[in-house]
Structure 1
Amino acid sequence: MSIVVPVYNEQLNIEKFYEEATKAVAGLDMDYEIIFVDDGSKDTTPLILSRLTQQDAHVRALILARNFGHQLAITCGMDHAKGDAIITMDGDLQHPPAMIPDLVQKWREGYDVVQTVRKATDDAGFLKRLTSKWYYIILNAMSPVHITPGGSDFRLIDKRVLETFMRFREHDRFIRGMIGDIGYKQTTLSFIAPRRYAGKSKFSGRKMLHFALDGITAFSKTPLRISFYVGLLSGLLSVLMIIHVLYCHITGQAAPGWTTTMIVVCLMGGLQLIFMGIIGEYIGRIFEEVKQRPLYWLRAELGQKKD
């Protein structure tokens, strides 16, 4: 079994996570490896990981050359995993290591993907719960791929699923959507996410917004189609406005026109900028893909690789 754990500035959490994860796998009668992926941490995280790899042959550490982001850090760990079952989870203990035996049990029952579903988060505020709920509603309305509301990157996948996943090499990734779309025999397990053991979340509002955009643009062309249909509607309204102006001119009605003109110009200009932005998001993703740069690169690899 391979346990993949992306970490970024988690010096206060790593050792506690290691203790809990080691305790959880102790009774499973499975060989295992814990692969920490350091995503360009600025604190003492790499030093702690180096010490753990020296103390325990089950621990490996992949030190990325810079910060590549959570999804690419997970991808890096999965690329290097050698287990028959691969578990991905965060290192802040909001993904409870105590659930590892439950995931393995479902895998032994024949499931290729065991996806956890977060029913609630102890330290999540009202606004975060509300935005998360509506994000999944909008995403599933736009996308042909169903994304389970409350889904997280805490899951188990079989080795053959990993082999398929490794063929997907896009840069802007939304892994929970990719795994949902990959098929195979899947099931879910629910859990309540506890508070972070220590430290603060590394997901700022900007990062969460980018992550949300990646989820929508990776699996849906609906925003582009909405732009097209709204463009048609705007064109129809413009034709009607021209007819109205010509009618006023022919009948000799005095029409100052300034208010109407300004409303139309502002409305059309705003819509054009919005939809140019939507198109720009897709073009930007095309630009990143055609450069064909590697998804990530390592500064160091610590620990013994499992056969």
Structure 2
Amino acid sequence: MTVDLSIVVPVLNEQESVACFVDAVTPIVESLGLRYEIIFIDDGSTDATADIVCGLQRNDPHIRLIRLSRNFGKEAALTAGLDFSTGAAVVPMDVDLQDPPSLLCEMVARWREGYDIAFGQRVERRSDTGTKRVTAGLFYRVFNSISGHPIDANAGDFRLMSRAAVDATLVLRERNRFMKGLFAWVGFRSIAVPYERPARVAGTTKFNYWKLWNFALDGITSFSTAPLKIWTYVGGSVALIALIYTAVIVAQTLIFGRDVPGYASLMVVILVLGAVQLMSLGIIGEYLGRMYMETKQRPIYLVKDTAGFPPSQDRADGQFVPRDAVRAAE
């Protein structure tokens, strides 16, 4: 069956949300008159998420399931969904319905007008905590100020992409994935679709501030070398200050016969320089670690099993384990 619209939904321990999502999305997509599929990617859930999706799939041929062999992270799960999608347009969505299904109508309308990407842009985030709103705004400002490929502020993964935009994104097979940055990097004709972000309908978020910090760090290091370059200027500034201070000490000693400052001044200089060196080494280490992961060329994800896909969609392109191989191993 030819598919017009693929909806890609990464899930992790979302047994309370899956059925609600299907009930909310199905009537809206059917009202558009499009042939569609809903692809759930189970990213190593330990609850009944996969079983619930399988139960829904038995009664609804539009539902597909991809089960990854373990938890690879949302970015890898989203990549798996894009790999398996066949629609002329593809929409990644969160299962918690904070990405309003009603927005699909406007996104499809923009796609029919000729836009390759119609991305959801949050104009109001009352459902987020004050801390998260502040840190999110700070991240977008920092990222866009140092990256050569800025991303749209308050735009997440929720967007409609044409098949051309999806195929271009899938050419990028880097292991440390920051999907919002990849979506921006490929370009194509885009338009914002503003919306107010509601609260979750069920379950709890799987992100905490530590994960969000690492996610932001991945994004910055993936799309900018500014953190590396800045230490050239920091080092040059510290060296200049040290040279001036040295000249002052020498002058004082020659003219006034004063001794070099004592223990306290020496310790301050040593600690400051040591801190600068360790910070610079830490930044270099972040980039070096990511280079190390890329050189190993491990697959982005591995598939444990699939359900609801036609046999013709089983592929062996080196990025996932084909279903037949999994069955043979079992």
Q: TM-score, normalised by structure 2?
A: 0.90
Whether 1:264 and 2:269 are equivalent positions in the alignment is yes
Q: Secondary structure at the match of 1:97?
A: coil
SS of the residue 1:78 aligns to: helix
| Paired position in structure 2 for 1:200 | 204
State whether residues 112 and 158 of structure 1, in contact with CA within 8 Å, keep that contact through their aligned partners in structure 2.
Answer: yes
Sequence identity (%): 38
- Which of 39-48 and 114-123 deviates more? 114-123
SS at match of 2:156: strand
- Matches of 1:43 and 1:122 in 2, distance apart? 29
Match of 1:298 in 2: 303
Query: 2:122 aligned with 1:118, yes or no?
Result: yes
Residue equivalent to 2:160: 156
Instruction: Provide the C-alpha distance between the structure 1 equivalents of 2:23 and 2:41, rounded to a whole number of angstroms.
Output: 17
Hey, what does 1:216 align to over in structure 2?
A: 220
| CA-CA distance at 1:123 after TM superposition | 2.0
1:18 aligns with 22
Q: Counterparts in 2 of 1:56-95, with a 5 A limit?
A: 56-95=60-99
> Shift of the alpha carbon at 1:248?
3.4
- Counterpart mapping for 1:217-256 below 5 A: 217-251=221-255, 252-256=257-261
Residue 188 in structure 1 maps to residue 192 in structure 2: yes
Question: What is the Cα deviation at residue 296 of structure 1?
Answer: 0.2
Count of aligned pairs: 307
Specify every segment of 5 or more residues in structure 2 that has no aligned partner in the other structure, as ranges.
314-330
Q: Is the 8 A contact 1:172 1:285 kept in 2?
A: yes
In structure 1, what is the Cα distance between the partners aligned to 2:292 and 2:245?
A: 39
For structure 1, the residue ranges without an aligned partner over 5 or more in a row are none
Offset at 1:245? 2.8
The more displaced of 168-177 and 235-244 is: 235-244
Cα deviation, residue 255, structure 1: 4.5
How far apart are residue 118 of structure 1 and its match?
Answer: 1.1
Q: Per-residue CA shift, 1:161-209, capped at 9, x if unaligned? A: 1111111000111111111121111111011111011121101111101
Q: Which residues of 2 match residues 2-17 of structure 1 at below 5 A?
A: 2-17=6-21
In structure 2, the partner of 1:130 is 134
The answer to whether the Cα contact below 8 Å between 1:57 and 1:304 also exists between their aligned partners in 2 is no
Dislocated runs of 4+, deviation >3 Å: none
Instruction: Name which of 95, 111, 118 aligns with 1:107.
Output: 111
* Offset from partner CA, 1:216-264 (integer Å, 9 cap, x none): 1111111111011101111112222222332233331144422221111
Answer yes or no: is 1:278 the counterpart of 2:297.
Answer: no
SS at match of 2:300: coil
Deviation at 1:304, TM superposition (A): 2.7
The match for 1:96 is: 100
Q: Distance in 2 between matches of 1:107 and 1:20?
A: 21
Code of the aligned partner of 1:17:
F
The one-letter amino acid paired with 1:160 is A
- Do the aligned residues in 2 keep the contact of 1:88 with 1:153 (CA within 8 Å)? yes
> Cα deviation per residue 1:11-35 (whole Å; 9 max; x = unaligned)?
1100000111101101111110000
Residue matched to 2:31: 27
Separation (CA, whole Å) in 2 of partners of 1:34 and 1:167: 23
